[in-house]
Structure 1
Amino acid sequence: MHLIQLNRECLLHLFSFLDKDSRRSLSLTCHQLREVFLDPCLWNLLHFSSPCQLRKDNFVLGPSLRYLTISWYSSMVLQVCNIEDWLKSSFQKNICSKHESLVSTFLAHVCYMCPNLLSLTMSGCGHITDRDVISVLQCCRKLRYLHLENCVRITDCSLEGVVAHGDNLEEVKVDFCRNITQAGLQHCKEMKPALQLTAERSADLIPDSKPEERVPIRRTLQKVLQNS
């Protein structure tokens, strides 16, 4: 029996055991298998281990997507992406410029094409902003689980978005997000007491502070030294 003699349900089941690259390779063999590859029902779960994978054409976004994970465990995250912008060298800024909008652009497509998303996990995505998170909350109103880890640009504004738009959220994690404050966490807990909210180390980390915010302290120290 030839593979393409199987019905659509069997082919979808077969494809479900393959990774994204294998699915795409198989889809290039004939028109019928290409149609199976493009079937939104096949793509209820997506996992990406680096932003560059978002550029590939080996997956399909659609209303069947329920679970999305973007995790980037790389030394580049710690050495480049997580550094405050005003402290980056020209070389570091050049590295970031090649990928800094990748995740944000991808999330914009998710907002438009995946209204039934239930779970979103992003780890090491150093360039996503509060606007990206709030857009997902506004467009994917069925979202139940939101996990942000080591996303350094995320602030209390995302927690405000959770309060305003996360009607169906059951669990939110904001771990190792250094610009989340204890006050923001407390406000979110007060406004949504039924929400399971955790923040491992987030409120204990040193938040970003722009150079102009440090100037008065530096000047004060200089005056103290001059007068001593």
Structure 2
Amino acid sequence: MHLTQLNQQCLLHVFSFLDKDNRSSLSQTCVRLREVFLDPCLWTRLHFSSPSQLRQDNFILGPSLRYLTISWHSSRVQQVCNIEDWLKSSFQKDICSKHQSLVTDFLQQVCHKCPNLLLLSLSGCAHISDQDVLSVLRSCPRLRCLFLENCVRITDSVLEGVVTYGSSLQEVRVDFCRNVSQSGLQRVRESRPELSLRAERSARMIPDSLPEERENIRKTLQKVLVFS
């Protein structure tokens, strides 16, 4: 029996064992397998291990998507992307310019095409902003789980969005997000006590501050020391 003689459900089951690249390669062998590749039922889960993978055409983004994970665990995140913009050298800025909008642009597509998303997990996505996550919260009302890890630009504004827009949320994690505050976390706990909220290390990390803000803090400390 030839592979293409299997019915649609069997072929979908076969495709489900393949990663995105192998699915795409197999779909290019004949029209029948291309139809299987394009079936929305095949694309309920997507996982990307680097922003560059978001540029590829080996997946289908649509209303069937339920679980989306974008994780980027690389030394570049720690050494370049996680540094405040005003501290980056021109070389570091040049590196960031090549990928800094990739996740943002992709999440905009998710907002338009994937209203039934249930889980969004972003790890090491240093360039995403509060607005990126808030757009997803507004566009995906069924979202149950929001996991953010080492997303350094995320602030308490996202926590406000969780309270305002995340009526379906059951679990939220904001781990190692240094610009999330204890007061922001407390507001979520008070407003949504039934929500499972985790913030490993986030509220205990040193938040970002502009150079002039750091200077004001330094002068204040000097005055305290002078008059103490």
| TM band (smaller chain) | over 0.9
2:190 maps to 1:183: no
Question: What is the Cα deviation at residue 5 of structure 1?
Answer: 1.2
- Taking the aligned partners of 2:200 and 2:225, their CA distance within structure 1 comes to 39
User: Which residue number corresponds to residue 108 of structure 2?
Assistant: 108
Structure 1 SS opposite 2:147: strand
Runs of 4+ in 1 over 4 A off after TM superposition: 218-226
**Which residue of structure 2 aligns with residue 209 of structure 1?**
209
In structure 1, the partner of 2:50 is: 50
Deviation at 1:218, TM superposition (A): 4.3
Q: C-alpha deviations, 1:84-136, integer Å up to 9, x for none?
A: 01100000000000000000100011111111111111100000010011000
Question: Which residue of the partner structure matches residue 133 of structure 2?
Answer: 133
In the alignment, does 2:164 pair up with 1:164?
yes
C-alpha distance in structure 2 between counterparts of 1:190 and 1:222, whole Å: 37
Query: How far off its partner does 1:216 sit?
Result: 2.6
Shift of 1:9: 1.1
1:19 aligns with 19
Task: Classify the secondary structure of the residue corresponding to 2:179.
Answer: coil
- Partners of 1:197 and 1:224 in 2: how far apart? 37
How far did residue 217 of structure 1 move?
Answer: 3.8
Please give the alpha-carbon distance, in whole angstroms, between the structure 2 residues aligned to 1:221 and 1:62. 54
1:90 to 2:90 alignment: yes
Deviations 1:35-92 (A, max 9, x none): 1101110001111111001011011011111111101010100000000011000000
Separation of aligned partners in 2, 1:223 and 1:142: 51
Match of 1:155 in 2: 155
Q: Quote the Cα distance in structure 2 between the aligned partners of 1:106 and 1:40.
A: 18
Q: Against the structure 1 CA distance between its residues 224 and 194, is the aligned structure 2 distance closer, same or farther, given a 3 Å change threshold?
A: closer
How many Å apart are 1:212 and its aligned residue?
Answer: 1.3
User: For 1:127-153, what per-residue CA distance to the aligned partner results, in whole angstroms no more than 9, with x for missing partners?
Assistant: 001001100000111000010000000
Q: Provide the residue aligned with 1:117 in structure 2.
A: 117
Give the structure 2 partner of residue 62 of structure 1.
Answer: 62
Q: Deviations over 1:156-184 (max 9, x none)?
A: 00000000000100000000000000000
The CA distance in 2 between the partners of 1:224 and 1:158, in whole Å, is 34
Identity %: 72
Distance 1:225 1:187, change over 3 A: closer
Q: So what's the TM-score if we normalise by structure 2?
A: 0.95
Q: Which runs of 5+ in 2 are unaligned?
A: none
Q: Which amino acid aligns with 1:158?
A: V
Q: Give the TM-score normalised by structure 1.
A: 0.95
Quote the Cα distance in structure 2 between the aligned partners of 1:57 and 1:12. Answer: 19
Code of the residue aligned with 1:15 in structure 2: it is: F
Distance 2:150 2:221 in 1: 33
Cα distance in 2, alignment partners of residues 167 and 225 from structure 1? 48
In structure 1, the gaps of 5 or more residues are none
What is residue 146 of structure 1 aligned with on the other side? 146
Distance in 1 separating the partners of 2:168 and 2:217: 44
